[in-house]
Structure 1
Amino acid sequence: MRSSGTTDLPLHYGKVPAWLYERMSTLGLSIVEAILTDYNKDEVLRRLSDPFWFQSFGAVLGMDWHSSGITTSVMGALKRAINPQSSSLGLYICGGKGRLSRETPMELLRVAEKTGLVGEELVRASKLSAKVDNTAIQDGYQLYLHNFIVSDKGNWTVIQQGMHDQDGTARRYHWLSENLKSFVEEPHTGINGISQGQILNLTAAEAADNRAGILSIVQEDPNETVRDFTKLVMPNRHHVCSSDVDLKRLGALLYVTRELHTDNFEELLLLKGVGPRTMQSLALVSEVIHGGPSRFKDPARFSFAHGGKDGHPFPVPIHIYDDSIAIMRKGIEKSKLGQMDKLKTINKLHQIVLQAETNFTPQFDVQEIIQQERRDSWKYGGRTVMGKAQKPSDNDSGSQLSLF
């Protein structure tokens, strides 16, 4: 059994406003359905188990690109959207934050009754993954969120998050059942992050038979165990810097969506009439669906789809968000009728961006892009937790930015 990675995040407080949460549920479901349509249930589980993909996914949904709130909000929105359709999708989301995490065993037993899976094995996997991260690995973080996502074939992923009681950070842990052998055969490939003193590895009571395996991990050189661990550490600041994004990838995406015309690409004719700003968001949504693992090393780039609820890098463009949802939902509904053209077109958009990256040389300032998005935010129904974006005064309107 291998944990697929961890993420260290600054702790954010407050609730996601209803106007965003509703949209997160709808677009999140659409993205999951698109992955199911073009790939399969195991691919959804693999994506969720990747800390970089998960952070990018949350950023596309309009959450703050670097905060701990992504975990609670994204999983809550997905559970709300997916579980009513679990029978047809073949995916079930159990658990949650606080009290909901303690209901995971009963939820898993109910899933087992519906699917014919062995409920006791799922409950054991849930408890052991929590014990490893909360007790067997003592790194200063106490779990307060535990989500267990299982398919009707019995494969699963776990996403859980702990809070540090001193430095105000949260740490997210990802697990994947694929190629499961043992919970103590390298249960983590390493723990890497800000030093909290000595990290003690202990066996959980439920895993007493595996004590020797966990004790062997304690005796190993910690420098060896952290070498290949998938680790994402997010900064404490809110604003997006050039160093946070892959400028070549962001620049190529902006070039394709702003400078090129849909009429030039036969593959994109089904998106004819879609404005440049919506194309920008759709291209990033498409990348979340179809991009390879290496595409998600800079989660901040995906916040250029729908901004962030706190206004970083810019307010959430409600009109654009709703356009993205409408196009995705229409594509999903048509695919259920055997008409795959719309979803294939969205995939083509990602492929065209990939081609543009080949010979693209970045010649722009990320801060100028952000400032333009903020100036134009009122046009797109821009909104944050603090209210709606206002039209800038004539003195602040600025000129149209030329990127290339």
Structure 2
Amino acid sequence: MTRDRTDVRTGIVGLGNIGQYHAERLLDLGVELVGGMDVADDARRSFARRYGVDVYDDHDELYDDVDAVIVTTPNRFHEEYAVDAFDRDLHVLLEKPLAHDLESAERIAAAAAASDATCMVGFNNRFSNAVRIVRNRIQRGDLGRVTHLEANYVRRRGVPGRGSWFTRRAIAGGGALIDLGVHAIDLALYLLEYPDVLEVAGVTRSEFGPRENYAYLEMWGEDAGPEGFDVDDSASAFVRCAGNRSISLEVAWATNRPSNHEFVVHGTEAAARFDLLENDLTIHAAGTGGSDHLEDTTVTTRQNDTHSDEQRAFFDAIVAGRDVGESVEHALAVQRIIDAIYRSSDAERTVSLTDE
């Protein structure tokens, strides 16, 4: 029986930047990094040189030697590696989103449900200290009934390298909506305690990535120009949930406005406003004691490494022999909303999810 995290032999599938990011945190946690797999020679050589472990161009060999895997491949390939792991009852930490499209996500969810393995989807922002405090305030009733979430994840100029897999629909499944929106939607639903979603109205746009004269100061990866870009670079949506609760969503890789990572949690007794990246948190309320007044309380907490805390929760669940909650079910609900936003934009109408 596994006694602690150091006994969980772990491999990484997808050895690019995010794979190495996870590898560093595995080592910090004391988890045994057994090896890695990638189809790219350069990625394998770099990973082997940096971490001194075996690397493979086929995941079968890696899976023969591990108890758990972290899958960080481009979205389109999540299904292949996750489903094969579940078939072997290997534990899986799967980077967000669940998949590149809804059908693939449903197959992953079915395989996870049929497996005895633990599965966590990489919604690392849930582990932010600011989010933890807000969730605690909600659960103890300080905010009253939470009725609405404003969710913003907006960059002024932040299109990933045009021509990378991020900007190609066939591999990523979408652009800013599926890259950034997946985090914003999950966090909003998480703080609402994942109510049933009734309908979605959304618009996706591609206004900056296709430009020959796209003005930017820096870009992740090489810039292949507009021919390497066929996805959305922003999206706006409204999500109506059961009990007249709602979410307004604004996400973008590029806009002509300052960046905005603000979330506002509207409650009947108070509201909470926090910055997703900066950890700033303010509680807004009003009262009549002594005299009518408004209260704005700044809450100070430390900035934490959300990926490290996410990994810790994943491996602690494996060691304890318990699941990590409804991680896969929640990820599938997020994928359904993303799919509905794309369909709503294409059809120029609201999409109902109650008949699906």
Q: Same fold (TM over 0.5)?
A: no
Whichever structure has more helix as a proportion of its residues is 1
Whichever structure has more strand as a proportion of its residues is 2
TM-score by length of 2: 0.26
Larger relative contact order (C-alpha < 8 A, sep ≥ 6)? 1
